[in-house]
A and B are shown apart, each in its own frame.
Chain A
């Protein structure tokens, strides 16, 4: 310990280290209260509560000093990559609306009013039929009749692969 360091005498430190503080479990502190305390905006009673929690938790003590230090210094510019990624998190409302309304907008432009319900109905039938066919529909029983067990075996091996991929995405690595 250097003499410059806060004039701490070894005996004072020894005394402190021979003692244990009998404090109750510290209360959790939310970000808003912690920020207000760091800025010195709290009244004495409120500040004392935060200080009890900070005194009891080494991580909070480090956090308080780090934050005060960072806020007290000029900040270097952030990497452009950081800002670009962050900006991409929020899209333009106009774009979101355009994306939502793109199909109906196309229909409005392309077709006369009277034909639109028929087109929408046709599209729904095509989508439903396509989904039914792709989802297996009557195909499994038809395949069973036509090809016996070998076709079914093939289908089940496909399902094994898809289950593995699901596990891959569900793993911690993603």
Chain B
């Protein structure tokens, strides 16, 4: 069953605990929850059993306490698949945190791994309001995380050229502010 089928689920019957609605919901939601959980757990190097358990955590969250979480979903605000993806990722990250390996005693860590260069540099503060929230977000994605413009454009539902021009305008503002400030 594809994600599109999620739109056909009777949410009111589901929230009442109707078994048939729940089974239909599971069939429609499982591919999305599976994909989201796998993506979230991938950097943590966890195995198939953890994927299964984390996915089960998602379903448990949804139906626990008489479907309390599911009842918070508001179709007027966002699509069910997007909301489910948010819930699934959050549950998967919680699962990964619980499964995190216990800390290693410092004596067992190789010295090379502990070698941290002490290079404290006082950073200039960007005053609040100089950049918009979107400009800040785009610069964070581009420079701190080295993400592709295309990925950021897809996320923000804008043209890649819009991301580039937002980046450009932000840098112009920063340069102008700090040139004036230091000049």
Contacts and interface: CB of A to CB of B under 8 A. Distances in A.
A, B assembled together: yes
Q: Most chain-A Cβ atoms within 10 A of its Cβ — which of B36, B133, B140?
A: B133
Interface in B139-160: 139-149, 151-152, 154-157
B46 interface: no
A21 B126 contact: yes
A89 interface: yes
Interface of A is mostly: helix
B87 A31 contact: yes
Contact of A61 (B3, B141, B149, B175): B141
Contacts of A7: 164
B86 A67 contact: yes
Given A68-B154, A86-B55, A87-B22, A6 B78 contact: no
Given A35-B79, A90-B17, 4 more contacts: A39-B78, A65-B141, A66-B36, A79-B34
Interface of A: 1, 5-8, 12-13, 15-24, 31-36, 38-41, 47-49, 51-52, 54-55, 58-59, 61-73, 75-79, 81-83, 85-87, 89-93
Interface of B: 2-3, 17-19, 22-23, 26-27, 30-36, 39-40, 52, 55-56, 59-60, 63, 72-74, 77-79, 81-83, 85-87, 89-90, 93, 121, 123-128, 131-134, 136-137, 139-149, 151-152, 154-157, 164, 167, 171, 174-175, 178
